[in-house]
Chains A and B, each alone.
Chain A
Amino acid sequence: MPFTLEMGRIALAKMDQAVESHREYLTELDSAIGDADHGINMSRGFRKTMEKIQGAEHPDLGALFRDVAMVMMGSVGGASGPLYGTFFMKVSQKLAGKDQVELPQLAEALQEGLNGIVALGKAQVGDKTMVDTLVPALSTLAAEAEGDERSAWDKTVAAAEQGMTSTIPLVARKGRASYLGERSAGHQDPGATSTYLLLNCLRAAALGES
C-alpha cells in the first residue's frame, strides 16, 4: 500500500493529537533535565501546523511537509524547532512532486530527514537525543521496507521505543541537559520521546488507520 498525500495529512493530525495528549508528560520529562518547555513547544508547533495545513491545498507530499517544516522553524522556539523543521524540510525535498510513495522510498526520505538532523545538531547515538530514537527506527524501516508492511512498521516502532528508553541511563552530551553532566542520567530524553510519539503516528497513518 503506497503512502499517500491523504495519509500524510492523517499522520500530521495524529501527531497533533499525540503531542497534545502527551503535553504534560513531555514537559515533565523536560523539567527533569531541560527547561520544561518541550511539551508546550511541540504542542504549539503542531497546533500551528494544523492551522496552516487545514484548508490548504497541497499538490504533493513534498509541499505538505514543506509547510510543516516552515511552521516548526518559526513557532517551536527551542532546539526542537530547527531540528524537527530540518527533518521535515529534508523529507519534503525528497518527496517533492510525489503524491504517493512506496515504503522503501518513504524510508529513504525519512533517512534524509535524519541526516539533516545529524548535520545540524551533530548528535550521535548515545548523546541522549532524538537521534537515539531515529537511528534504530529508520535503519529497521529501511531493512524491512521490502517485506510485509505491517511487520515493517511494527518492528520500526518497537526499535524506536527501545531507542527512546535507551536514553534513560545516558549522560546527555547535547543541549541544556548536557550542562547537568552526570545528573542527566536516570531520565528519559524528552526529544527521543516526542520522536517516538511521531513515528508511532506515522505508522498508524501508513497502515491505513484513520
Chain B
Amino acid sequence: MIGILVVSHSAEAARGIALIASQMSGGGAFVRGVGGSEDGGLGTSVPQILEVLQELLRACEGVAVVPDLGSAVLSARSALEFLDPSEAARVAVADAPALEGAMMGAVESSLGSDLAKVVATAEGARNLEKTRH
C-alpha cells in the first residue's frame, strides 16, 4: 500500500483534504495531512512533516507527498533530506493540485498500485475537468 501525505500551509486544509481523499478512495488508502507552522499559524514545518512521513513509512511500502504550494514543496523536499537513503527512496513528491492530486492518488493506491503509478495518477489530476461534462 502506498500512503498519501498532503502537505498544506494550513493544518485545517491538510486535514480536510486528507479526509476527502480518504473517503473518495473508499477508506482503502492511507492518507494523512500535515500543515501549519509550529506555532499554529499558516506555514509549513519540516520537523512536523518529517514526523508524519516517518509514521506513514512505517505503515506503507511507499509514500506519495502532495504539497499545496511552493514552500510546502521546499519543506517536503527538505524533510526527505533527514531520511535514510533507503527510506527516502520510498518517497516521491507529486507535482499535482493538492486536493485533486491527493484524491486521485488515494484512489490509485486503493487499487494496489505502486509508488510510480500513484504519483503519475496524482499528477494526471491537473487535467481533471470539473464543468465541461
Check A81/B75 contact, CB under 8 A, given A73-B45, A176-B70: yes
B97 within 8 A of A: no
A75 within 8 A of B: yes
A163 within 8 A of B: no
Chain B residue numbers with a CB within 8 Å of A180 are none
4 A-B pairs closest in CB distance: A77-B43, A79-B71, A73-B46, A82-B78
Nearest B residue (CB) for A175: B70
- Pairwise interchain contact B74-A121, C-beta atoms closer than 8 A: yes
Check A81/B70 contact, CB under 8 A, given A75-B39, A86-B78: no
Q: How far is the CB of A191 from chain B (nearest CB, A)?
A: 11
- Pairwise interchain contact A78-B43, C-beta atoms closer than 8 A: yes
Nearest B residue (CB) for A73: B46
B44 within 8 A of A: yes
- Pairwise interchain contact B45-A75, C-beta atoms closer than 8 A: yes
Interface size class of A (residues with CB under 8 A): 20 to 34
List residues of A (70-113) whose CB comes within 8 Å of B's CBs: 70, 73-79, 81-83, 85-86, 89
Interface size class of B (residues with CB under 8 A): 10 to 19
Taking a contact as CB atoms closer than 8 A, the residue among A41, A44, A82 that contacts B75 in the complex is A82
* 9 pairs of residues in contact across A and B, judged by CB atoms under 8 Å: A73-B45, A75-B39, A75-B45, A78-B43, A81-B43, A82-B75, A82-B77, A83-B74, A120-B74
A183 within 8 A of B: no
Chain A residue numbers with a CB within 8 Å of B81 are 86, 89
Complex CA distance for A135 and B34, rounded to whole angstroms: 34
- Pairwise interchain contact A81-B41, C-beta atoms closer than 8 A: no
Chain B residue numbers with a CB within 8 Å of A82 are 44, 46, 71, 74-75, 77-78
Q: How far is the CB of B34 from chain A (nearest CB, A)?
A: 13
Complex CA distance for A85 and B48, rounded to whole angstroms: 14
- Pairwise interchain contact A74-B45, C-beta atoms closer than 8 A: yes
B114 within 8 A of A: no
Chain A residue numbers with a CB within 8 Å of B77 are 82, 120
A52 within 8 A of B: no
Q: How far is the CB of B70 from chain A (nearest CB, A)?
A: 5
List residues of B (38-82) whose CB comes within 8 Å of A's CBs: 38-39, 41-48, 69-71, 74-75, 77-78, 81
Q: How far is the CB of A123 from chain B (nearest CB, A)?
A: 11
Complex CA distance for A75 and B46, rounded to whole angstroms: 9
B37 within 8 A of A: yes
Q: How far is the CB of A91 from chain B (nearest CB, A)?
A: 14
Chain B residue numbers with a CB within 8 Å of A174 are 70
Check A78/B71 contact, CB under 8 A, given A70-B47, A73-B45: yes
Chain B residue numbers with a CB within 8 Å of A73 are 45-47, 75, 78
Chain A residue numbers with a CB within 8 Å of B41 are 77
Chain B residue numbers with a CB within 8 Å of A175 are 70-71
Check A74/B78 contact, CB under 8 A, given A79-B70, A175-B70: no
Complex CA distance for A174 and B39, rounded to whole angstroms: 26
